[in-house]
Every structure is written in C-alpha cells, then in structure tokens.
Amino acid sequence: YVKDDDVYFDHENGLAKSNTATKPIEANIQDIISAAYYLRTFDFNNARKGQNYSVDFYLDDSAYISVIQFVGREVVETELGVFKCLAFKPMLATGEVFSNQYPMTLWVTDDKNKLPVLAKSEVIVGSVKMELIKFSGLKHPIDALIED
C-alpha cells in the first residue's frame, strides 16, 4: 500500500489544499505528524489514566475530531536510552490502513520537552514502528532520560 498526498495548511485563510481538493479547516487542525507535536502544548501533570484529549485532525481530505487517550506513565527503552514517558493512544480513522480505532501507541518524554521518542502501530498488513534516533537543540534539559 502506497499513498502520496501532500497537504498545504493555509491557516491564514482557513484552507487545506491537497493534491485532490481544497477544503475549509478550523484553527489548530493537525495532521498525523503535527498531532504528536501538538501534544507538547498540553499540561499532563494531573492526567489520569484513560483521560481523553480532543484534537481536530485532517486526513484524506476530511476533518475529524479525534481523541487522544492518556494511557499512563511508562518507562521506554530506545536506541537513544531509557526514558520516563507519557503514553498515548490516538484515535485514528479505520479503513484502508488501520483496522481498529486505537491502533497506535505514542510515547513522549515525561518532561518539559515532551519529545516523541517511540510510536508503534498495527496496520492491516502488519505493524509499523517509529523511533527517534537523534535529537538536538532542545529548549529544556532532557530530564526524562534515565540511562543512555
């Protein structure tokens, strides 16, 4: 399965322009990548397991209100080291790629950076793993690193 679709978000005029359509969008709408970084703006100090956060999401020329569920605090081992992380399950649209609504787990560092260090997802044809292999120029110290 291969899909190539570039989307230009024109926030000033409230439009998303893709290879196939131009659609109106709301402020703060996210794509699958920017949603991980948008999480960095949320305060999770008092987050409870199972708590949901809403994110406006744009995929396949349609806007959705997606839910990102807080799974809890976990320790995650990656190539870069061992990190204290916040774990999330974003709700994604089922269809050609995903067979259930919460197929992905995303781990971000449990510090001021909220750096996305790992994501794992089941897809219809198997699984996908995304792991951060390098970082630099962080605004804050990487306090979530337990061991490198």
Domain ranges of the chain: 8-147
- State residue 95's pLDDT score: 54
Report the DSSP beta bridge partners of residue 57: 30, 64
pLDDT digits over 98-110, tens only? 556 667 899 999 9
Q: What is the mean pLDDT of residues 1-17?
A: 86
The pLDDT mean for the chain works out to 87
Three-state SS at 139 = coil
pLDDT band for position 34 (cuts 50, 70, 90): confident
Interatomic CA distance for residues 113 and 40, integer angstroms: 7
